Amino acid sequence: MDHNTSRGLAAVRRVKRQHHLEGVYGTLAELFEVPDRYKTAVEVTAGTSLFHYVVDNEETATRVLEILQREKAGRVTFMPLNRIKPKPISIPKASDAIHMITKLQYDPMFESAFQHVFGKTIICPNLQVAAQYARSHAVSAITPEGDRADKKGALTGGYHDPRNSRIDAVRSVMKWREEYEAQKARAAEIKRQLEQLDQQITGAVGALRKIDQRKQQLEGSYDPLNRELRSKSDDLQTKKDALDAKQNSAEKIEAAIRDLSEQQTSYETELSSDYKKALSRDEERQLETLSATVQDLRRQHSELSAARSELESRKAEIEVELRENLRLTLEQLKSQENSSSGGAASSNKLKESQRELKRINEAVKTVEAKLQEADQAIDQANGQLSQLEKNRAEKMQQQQEIAQAIERHQRRIETSMAKKTNLTERAAEVARNIRDLGILPEEAFEKYKNMDSNRVSLLPR
């Protein structure tokens, strides 16, 4: 076909697609099928009518023509089905005269268009028979080789190259146009899928970055928790030491109470007996000397007890200094070392993620595999985040347990202090009772004659 017709047909197809026109069906060549034996005869008969465009009515044709004229997009001949009215014609009923339209396969809705082009043509075995039927029945007759005789007596014929078949060309163009449209639609779908995958990758990378930031925040929150845990541990150890000291003091007080109880029992026994003076003057002087010695020994005992208490206090201060300063400094150094090593690991992981993202952007064909790797990385990061949350919950539980233990120890200490106060009051009461005994009777001197010196030191002055 000529260039203008080619441009016009392409423009009509574009206009149909852009404006969604329903009544634009296609060229005549695209609407029928014909056996190969009669293909040459059909091409010669139709001529340029093969490329006439079939539409439903003249309004559709006018609308398309206006668009073509406005866009200067070539020339096209239209065949409105509502305007084509083929006239009836007498076709010979003979075995050597085949009505051409009977060899065509097409949709019945295009009957008027095909009758208009092929309805007046018959196919004859040779040119002589074709010329006879053309003169006798006023029809156009043609041979399968393309030699033609019309009703006016003109004969047209010669060699026709079957390799340059217009019908074959139309079929090939239709095939490859459909293939092109299918590939184009597939390309659009693939492009849309790639855009969706790019969005998913972008979202996955953003989520991964958020997880990394969350992980860094959790790693940064470990240091205050560790410091608080060490502080609580030191406080607990201090409370334990104080509790041990209080328990030792309570044991001493209980021993003193037992001794005082024994003394009280002995004094009551003495009071219940008659007073008799059983000591001689020498024994009385010896008793006074021993009483002075006992006072000196008590004073020395008090001084030694005070020195011991001072040494115990100094020891406790040194232990507190060791726990709160030296060990804390050691833990801080270890924590700084761990933090530096963790930062390097996070930096290496970030660089690895950046290299992975770069490979994803460069390789479009492997985008699905890269997306799976990103999903796996997200799952791993979610697992790490869950583990961190679990560790944090465990730390909080441990902290609560430590607080409860400290509270229990405080209650025990308060109980011990209350018990100590009661025992002190009881010891004071016993001492008052001993002082209220007054001067011993004479018979008490006989009682203490053979008493051990260790027992004598406990006697009241």
Any idea which of 66-70, 91-95, 147-151, 334-338 has the lowest mean pLDDT?
334-338
227: pLDDT confidence band, cut at 50, 70 and 90? confident
**Long-range contacts from 178-186, C-beta under 8 angstroms, 24+ separation:** none
CA distance 173 to 171: 5
What SS3 string covers 241-300?
HHHHHHHHHHHHHHHHHHHHHHHHHHHHHHHHCCCCCCCCHHHHHHHHHHHHHHHHHHHH
pLDDT at 6 over 90: no
% of the chain residues with pLDDT over 90? 9
pLDDT in tens, 61-89: 898 888 888 888 888 999 999 888 888 88
Q: What does residue 12 show for φ and ψ, rounded to 5 degrees?
A: -65, -45
pLDDT given at position 431: 77
- Is 364 or 194 the better-scoring residue by pLDDT? 194
pLDDT given at position 428: 85
CA distance 11 to 420: 111
Instruction: Give the residue-averaged pLDDT of 115-125.
Output: 89
pLDDT given at position 364: 46
User: Token pair of 218, please?
Assistant: 């959790």
Residue 139 three-state SS: coil
- Is 58 or 278 the better-scoring residue by pLDDT? 58
- Is 382 or 265 the better-scoring residue by pLDDT? 265
CA distance 149 to 157: 9
CA distance 161 to 138: 29
- Is 414 or 454 the better-scoring residue by pLDDT? 414
% of the chain residues with pLDDT over 70? 71
342: pLDDT confidence band, cut at 50, 70 and 90? low
Q: Tell me which residue of 160, 115, 151 sits closest to 130, measured CA to CA.
A: 151
User: Token pair of 335, please?
Assistant: 């924590």
pLDDT at 219 over 50: yes
pLDDT given at position 224: 76
How many residues in the chain?
461
Helix 166-272 / helix 327-362 crossing angle, nearest 10 deg: 170
pLDDT given at position 80: 93
Instruction: Please give the radius of gyration of the chain, using alpha carbons only, rounded to the nearest integer.
Output: 61
pLDDT given at position 349: 55
- Is 343 or 134 the better-scoring residue by pLDDT? 134
pLDDT given at position 187: 92
Instruction: Give the residue-averaged pLDDT of 26-42.
Output: 89
- Is 112 or 325 the better-scoring residue by pLDDT? 112
pLDDT in tens, 436-456: 766 656 665 566 566 665 665
End-to-end Cα spacing for the chain: 147
pLDDT in tens, 195-205: 999 999 999 99
Q: Tell me which residue of 46, 28, 42 sits closest to 143, measured CA to CA.
A: 42
Mean pLDDT in the chain?
Answer: 78
User: Token pair of 373, please?
Assistant: 């790797």
Q: What does residue 157 show for φ and ψ, rounded to 5 degrees?
A: -170, -170
Give the dihedral sign, CA 313/319/322/327. negative
User: Token pair of 253, please?
Assistant: 């007080």
pLDDT at 222 over 60: yes
